[in-house]
A and B are shown apart, each in its own frame.
Chain A
Amino acid sequence: MTEVNLGEEIVFWISGGLAVLGALGMILSKKAVHSALWVALTMINLAILYIANSAPFLGMVQVIVYTGAVMMLFLFVLMVVGVDSSDSLIETLKGQRLVSIVLAIGLAILLIAGVGAGLTDVVPVGLEEANGVDGGNVEGIARLLFTDYLIAFEVTSALLITAALGAMVLAHRERWLPRASQAELSRSRFLGAGHPGNLPSSGTYARHNAVDTPALLPDGSPSELSIPGPLVARGDVRPIDHHDVDQIESLGGGTK
């Protein structure tokens, strides 16, 4: 068991390196979506390492739950909320970044040295027993969940209930007015400041027809109404390429 074969070593160095790379990328990217994707990379590589260490159940759960569910949910939320999500990088406390980097490096050195010293000359034992007693890794974990960690497993449900309740309390909007009927909505659209009909659709051109392309008003200026609000807020509206417009107009032989 103490032998680490060549294949395992190769897997470790590749997956371990990618996991660290993902973690660094997560911290260093400025856009939240990029960070989320970097985390997915880290998670998948950790899963590979778990599986390489004879913990297939943990590895699969890691992929299904973290990479599959949590990270994708996170991405959905980012996409839905969408609005400018890059971080402000202004230090509010002077010198805080420097001090925290120094302290973080200090802690890392301490932990690496300590754990390293603690693990030299240690003979790993018990992996076969742990996975073998109940006829497999999954069975072993199942037994632990229903024996030694029964209470911990059950009490975790209180944690999940709290999380669900908390999400409802903080985010669920109740309405204090009855929902407006179709007729009321339509009346208010025509009488009030709203747009009476459908909003104009996005621009459809020879080269671009995606939702980020604004429709052009008769005077050639882009129509704000033709672009979804979140895209405007995120600054993802495609600017009008006047060179293109000119070119197309000249091809059609139209006059300016």
Chain B
Amino acid sequence: MNILAAVGIEVPFTLPIVDYNAIAPLLILLGAGVVSVLVEAMLPRGSRRFIQLFIVFGALVAALAWIFTITGVRVITAEGAIAIDGPALVMQGAILVLAILGALLMAERSIDPSGDAFAARASALPGSEDEKQFTARGYLQTEVWPLFLFAVSGMVLFVSANDLLLMFVALEVMSLPLYLLAGMARRRRLLSQEAALKYFLLGAFSSAFFIYGVALVYGYAASTQLPAIASVLTAKPGQTSLALIGMALILVGLLFKVAAVPFHQWTPDVYQGAPTAVTGFMAATVKIAAFGALMRVLYVAFGGMRWDWVPMMWIIAILTMLVGSIIAISQSDIKRMLAYSSIAQAGFILVGVIAASPAGLAGALFYLIAYGFTTIGAFAVISMVRDESGEATNLSKWAGLGRKSPFVGSVFALFMLALAGIPLTSGFIGKFSVFAAAIASGDTWLVIVAVVASIIAAFFYVRVIVVMFFTEPGPQTASVEVPSVFTTIALAAGATVTLVLGILPQPVLELVSNADLFIR
């Protein structure tokens, strides 16, 4: 910090104070991302994959380990731009663990006979001679790894951003690599590219709403820092129309990322088109990151306007739960069905957000963690169920799968039961904690709607189990490929956590309740 002074350069302003210890996980990830880009630029093709995996897993584990050393830190640093507090640390930890599982899925190379989940060269036109040649030569697009690291850095920053402008930058750092990763599937490439384009265009729109909202809020509060906005709201409670419009526009941007109705249109296409490994990673981690930012904005900056945002969020939560659950029933593609399921789940988490109490925050955090592990496990199974044309995502191909491969079938059934919220799975504890928190805050009617939506949702989760176990396997039933150790670990971790959080949720419940509140 005093280097400049030491060499005799006079600085005409006070240098910012940054708590490098508290933001070290972010710096590790960003640094690893840059190193990873250099590896792409400088090393020969053959050695890249191994080194990239080494960097990615090394960085994720190092960042996670660092978080364990700073669990007691509660600090607002970098001139108020970053808040490292209990919820931020919990969410950063959860994002990193789930990112490790996501990276394991992305590193899988034995399921698809021709390589990993990504196109040999994303730049080769689908169906062209180039594409055939690159695939035949076993090229791998190792650029996915730096993109992955930047996406994780963006998420880690997103949940701790205490300044709307930094939050916007983090949102883009998180989203841009995901747009790219979504378009790089090895199979059904046109579908994948269409998904990426849709995700990019709609994402750009939602970012524009977000930044317009930030501008209006800045016009109101003369600051982009969340606590400063809150104090201006208390100081002049009367003239809030700018803050109100600004808040609404910011929420559009954030609700787009959590896939809440009516900002959910991208979800089914992107979940279906993206490579399954990316879908699993994205479904689990983006949800956590986006809900983290949403809760921080609502509680820290706009806590004083609670009576303005609660009715709006009620409507959105109800729509999200019902639309997600009802449309999921009519889906015949399993990835699309899980996309609508993720919309419905976002609605259930919103119930906890609306409760706006310590119990609601803890419940939402628990739900997000439980949902993340279950989802990543479910997509791991989907990536293994294949026929000769690639992944068999049509439900008709899943008929009798449970009898053909009882073990994988049962694991998938466990994930479905957890998503439906059946007791003894993590999903039940998650639903129970957010619903209990909402009732304690007086939102009983919302909980009644949520329970109805859960029952509707249970129908399509259980239907998958019925299709898998209560139909005879036919000639068109897909087969389960034997994965390498990568997917096996991810799948085992997802299943174990889903079961353990259902039977022994206490340690994690304590973790999320001891996380305190967001600091101001």
B443, CB-defined interface residue at 8 Å: no
Alpha-carbon distance between A11 and B184 when the two chains are bound, in angstroms: 49
Q: Is A150 touching B130 in the complex (CB atoms < 8 A)?
A: no
Q: Is B79 touching A162 in the complex (CB atoms < 8 A)?
A: no
A148, A155, A158, A163 pick with most chain B CB within 10 angstroms: A158
Q: Is B16 touching A150 in the complex (CB atoms < 8 A)?
A: yes
Q: Which 5 A-B pairs have the closest CB atoms?
A: A118-B242, A118-B241, A152-B166, A114-B245, A176-B133
* Contact pick for A155, options B133, B166, B176, CB 8 Å: B166
Alpha-carbon distance between A246 and B80 when the two chains are bound, in angstroms: 80
Chain A residues contacting B166 (CB-CB under 8 Å) are 149, 151-152, 155
Contact string against B for A residues 140-170, beta-carbon threshold 8 Å, 1 for contact and 0 otherwise? 0001001111111001101101110110111
Alpha-carbon distance between A170 and B15 when the two chains are bound, in angstroms: 40
Question: B residues touching A (Cβ–Cβ < 8 Å)?
Answer: 12-16, 18, 23, 30, 33-34, 37, 40, 78-82, 121-124, 130, 133-134, 137, 139, 141, 143, 146-147, 150, 153-154, 157, 163, 165-166, 169-170, 172-173, 176-177, 179-180, 183-184, 216, 219-220, 222, 239, 241-242, 244-245
Chain B residues contacting A110 (CB-CB under 8 Å) are 245
With A169-B141, A169-B180, A169-B184 as contacts: A151 and B82 at CB distance below 8 Å:
yes
Alpha-carbon distance between A126 and B223 when the two chains are bound, in angstroms: 12
A119, CB-defined interface residue at 8 Å: yes
Q: Is A166 touching B79 in the complex (CB atoms < 8 A)?
A: no
Q: Is A149 touching B81 in the complex (CB atoms < 8 A)?
A: yes
A94, CB-defined interface residue at 8 Å: no
Chain A residues contacting B81 (CB-CB under 8 Å) are 148-152
With A151-B82, A169-B141, A173-B123 as contacts: A146 and B13 at CB distance below 8 Å:
yes
Chain B residues contacting A115 (CB-CB under 8 Å) are 216, 242, 245
Chain B residues contacting A168 (CB-CB under 8 Å) are 143
Q: Is B122 touching A176 in the complex (CB atoms < 8 A)?
A: no
Alpha-carbon distance between A140 and B358 when the two chains are bound, in angstroms: 40
Q: Is B15 touching A147 in the complex (CB atoms < 8 A)?
A: yes
Contact string against B for A residues 85-127, beta-carbon threshold 8 Å, 1 for contact and 0 otherwise? 0000000000000000000000000110011011100000010
User: From residue A174, how far is it (CB to closest CB) to chain B in Å?
Assistant: 6
A134, CB-defined interface residue at 8 Å: yes
Alpha-carbon distance between A41 and B23 when the two chains are bound, in angstroms: 43
Interface residues of A in 44-85 (CB under 8 A from B): none
Q: Is A176 touching B130 in the complex (CB atoms < 8 A)?
A: yes
A171, CB-defined interface residue at 8 Å: yes
User: From residue A99, how far is it (CB to closest CB) to chain B in Å?
Assistant: 13
Chain A residues contacting B177 (CB-CB under 8 Å) are 162, 166
Q: A118-B242, A155-B30, A158-B154 are in contact. List 17 more A-B contacts (CB 8 A).
A: A115-B242, A118-B219, A118-B241, A119-B219, A146-B15, A149-B81, A149-B165, A150-B81, A152-B165, A155-B169, A162-B173, A163-B176, A165-B40, A165-B143, A166-B179, A169-B123, A173-B124
Chain A residues contacting B216 (CB-CB under 8 Å) are 115, 118
Look across to chain B and name the residue whose beta carbon is closest to the beta carbon of A114. Answer: B245
Alpha-carbon distance between A144 and B244 when the two chains are bound, in angstroms: 27
* Contact pick for A162, options B13, B40, B150, B239, CB 8 Å: B150
* Contact pick for A150, options B78, B123, B143, CB 8 Å: B78
Alpha-carbon distance between A126 and B18 when the two chains are bound, in angstroms: 27
Q: Is B79 touching A147 in the complex (CB atoms < 8 A)?
A: yes
Look across to chain A and name the residue whose beta carbon is closest to the beta carbon of B124. Answer: A173
Q: Is B16 touching A159 in the complex (CB atoms < 8 A)?
A: no
Chain A residues contacting B147 (CB-CB under 8 Å) are 162, 165-166, 169
With A150-B79, A152-B165, A165-B143 as contacts: A158 and B173 at CB distance below 8 Å:
yes
Contact string against B for A residues 162-197, beta-carbon threshold 8 Å, 1 for contact and 0 otherwise? 110110111111101000000000000000000000
User: From residue A137, how far is it (CB to closest CB) to chain B in Å?
Assistant: 15
Alpha-carbon distance between A121 and B23 when the two chains are bound, in angstroms: 42
Alpha-carbon distance between A115 and B239 when the two chains are bound, in angstroms: 12
Chain B residues contacting A155 (CB-CB under 8 Å) are 30, 153, 157, 166, 169-170, 173
Alpha-carbon distance between A126 and B218 when the two chains are bound, in angstroms: 13
Chain A residues contacting B124 (CB-CB under 8 Å) are 173
Q: Is B37 touching A161 in the complex (CB atoms < 8 A)?
A: yes
Q: Is A159 touching B169 in the complex (CB atoms < 8 A)?
A: yes
Q: Is A159 touching B123 in the complex (CB atoms < 8 A)?
A: no
Interface residues of A in 187-211 (CB under 8 A from B): none
Chain A residues contacting B23 (CB-CB under 8 Å) are 151
* Contact pick for A147, options B13, B141, B169, CB 8 Å: B13
Chain B residues contacting A152 (CB-CB under 8 Å) are 81, 163, 165-166, 169
Q: Is B16 touching A158 in the complex (CB atoms < 8 A)?
A: no
Alpha-carbon distance between A171 and B147 when the two chains are bound, in angstroms: 16
Chain A residues contacting B154 (CB-CB under 8 Å) are 158
Alpha-carbon distance between A93 and B15 when the two chains are bound, in angstroms: 55
Q: Is B34 touching A173 in the complex (CB atoms < 8 A)?
A: no
Chain B residues contacting A161 (CB-CB under 8 Å) are 33-34, 37, 146, 150
Chain B residues contacting A126 (CB-CB under 8 Å) are 222
